[in-house]
Amino acid sequence: MTDYFAMPDGRRIAFRHAAKADGATTIVFLPGYMSDMAGSKATALFDWAQDNGRACLLLDYSGCGESDGEFADGTLSRWRDEVLALIEAKVDGPVLLIGSSMGGWLMLLVALELGSRLAGMIGIASAPDFTDWGYTPEQKAVLGRGETLFEDNPYGPEPTPTHAAFWADAQENRLLGSPIAIGCPVTLLHGQADADVPWNISMRLGESLVSPNVLIQLTKDGDHRLSRPEDIERLLAAVVALQPVS
C-alpha cells in the first residue's frame, strides 16, 4: 500500500515501508532517472524483504510516480533532501542504501549525510557525474543556456528531457574528481553490455571511495537495467552478503 509523507513545503512524497523492530537495518532503494518504486528491481526487493522479515523503504521522488510535483522541478539536491527526510521520519536504526543508475549517484549524496547510520551501499549501474561524462559539449551548451535538452528514449515513446536546473545542480554535485569520504562496505553491480552507463564508471567509483571494502561485480552480458531473473538473484545475494538474514 502506498503512503504519503509531507515535506515542509507541503508536497507529498509517495512511499512504501515495510517496518520491523527498532534497530533493524532498513533497505532503502533509490530508483533511476524518470523511474519510480513500481519498477521490477524495487518491487523484487520489497517482496523479498517482506518474505524474509526485513525492513525496506521505497519512494517516488517528487515529480515521479505517485508523488506530487513536476518533474521539471526535480534536482539531485531536492531528491536527496526528500530521501533524507523520509529516512529521518520513518526509519529507526541503520540503513542499507541501494541505488540504480542515477539513483547510484543520489545514493552517494545521501550516504555522505547519513554518517554512522550508513550500514552499506549497493550500486546498480551507478551513474555518478553523468551530467559531465554523459553529454557532448554541444549538449552542455544547450543546457548552459537554460534550455531543455531532449534525447531519444530507448525505454519508451516519449523523448527523455534533461532540464537546465537539474543539469546545473548536478554539476555542483559531481563526486568522481576527488576521494569520496564513504567508508562503509560497498558492492557495485554493472553489466558490461550496458549501453547507457559505461561499466568503467563503476571502476572509477570504486577507486574514488575511501572504503577499503568495495566489491565490483561485472556481468558480461548484463544490460543497463540488470532486471533479468539472474540479475535480481545477484542483487539479492549482494544484500544478504552485506546484511545476512538471521
Q: Which residues are catalytic?
A: 101, 194, 224
Q: Three-state SS across 148-212?
A: CEEECCCCCCCCEEECHHHHHHHHCCCCCCCCECCCCCEEEEEECCCCCCCCHHHHHHHHHECCC
User: Distance between CA atoms of 192 and 239, rounded to whole angstroms?
Assistant: 21
What are the helix (H) ranges across the chain?
40-51, 76-90, 102-114, 130-133, 137-144, 164-171, 200-208, 229-242
d(CA 100, CA 106): 9
Q: Is the alpha carbon torsion for 228, 231, 211, 198 positive or negative?
A: negative
- Residue 102 CA to residue 29 CA, distance in Å, equals 12
Distance, C-alpha 113 to centroid of its chain: 15
Backbone angles phi, psi at 195, to 5 degrees: -90, -5
